[in-house]
Amino acid sequence: MQSHAAEMDFHAARALLEWQMELGVDEAIGEAPVNRYALAVEAPKVVRDVPPSSAAPTTELPATAAEEVDTVAAARRAADASTDLAALAAAQAAYNHCDLKKGARNFVFADGNPAARVMVIGEAPGRDEDLEGRPFVGRAGQLLDRMFAAIGLSRTGPDAEASLYITNVLPWRPPGNRDPEPQEIGMMLPFLTRHVELADPDLIVLMGNTPCVAALGTRGILRLRGKWTEAFGRPTLPMTHPAYLLRNPAAKREAWADLLEVKARLRDKA
Ligand code: URA
């Protein structure tokens, strides 16, 4: 197939690629063979903050002119300087050190009632969330809504008691819904930590492995689920992700037990 990549913008090229994947294409093969053994090994990239300059440099910048960026420290500074959720959303949206931002259509911050007693933390936007700019709006999200509705909680609930606040570890969709990289989780953790501080929920629910890695420093959701623990200084319950429940309907029985745990804990803490 002839490549028209040079004439396409990023989103058109990605839509074409996604369409091909839906048709079953699972490998990208170039038109000409490349002997990768003969290629020079690329040196690892170092992230640098390059001072603004109107003239493009003709030679590589000397080390003294380019300052290395600690991307986690930059995230922490931006997050800690945010005094409310609107400022935090703006600071995170403006953060430029995470490459996922370049491939995402939308920044996905949160949904629901920030005053809710329960805060749900998921993994990352998928295709539907990326298109809509809201977390958990696809099939898994619809199941999540039904699950919490069964214990009287919803994003649109009338008050803190009956509502839900929902966010993700990552605000940008990873390409092809791949698992988030540890370094992406690390960069976003200061924003998530501040997000929890500012929303100040009574309880946290971690949906799946990625939020367990971010908040508890460990994975193994099938071992962790249903056991109360503490994250960000508050009672926290890991649960299996609704996408997992869609693939494994038999696990819904345990998820229901976990939801009843949330309900009971809310009653005890009232
Ligand atoms: N899965 C998640 O973890 N979060 C979303 O927002 C959507 C799907």
Q: Which CATH class is domain 68-269?
A: alpha beta
> Which ligand 1 atom lies nearest to the CA of residue 129?
6
pLDDT at 3 over 50: no
What is the distance between the alpha carbons of residues 17 and 127, in angstroms, rounded to a whole number? Answer: 14
Q: Which residues line ligand 1 (CB under 6 A)?
A: 122-126, 129, 135-136, 138, 140-141, 168, 207
Please write the tens of the pLDDT for every residue from 158-214. 999 999 999 999 999 999 999 999 999 999 999 999 999 999 999 999 999 999 999
Note whether 106 and 132 are within 8 A (CB): yes
What is the distance between the alpha carbons of residues 143 and 17, in angstroms, rounded to a whole number? Answer: 28
Please write the tens of the pLDDT for every residue from 214-253. 999 999 999 999 999 999 999 999 999 999 999 999 999 9
For residue 238, report the distance from its CA to the centre of ligand 1, in Å: 15
What string of DSSP letters covers 113-166? Answer: -TT-SEEEEES---HHHHHHTSSS-SHHHHHHHHHHHTTT-BTT-SSTTTBEEE
For residue 75, report the distance from its CA to the centre of ligand 1, in Å: 22
Please state the pTM of the whole predicted model.
0.79
What is the distance between the alpha carbons of residues 172 and 218, in angstroms, rounded to a whole number? Answer: 22
136, exposed or middle or buried, with CB in 10 Å at 0-12, 13-18, 19+?
buried
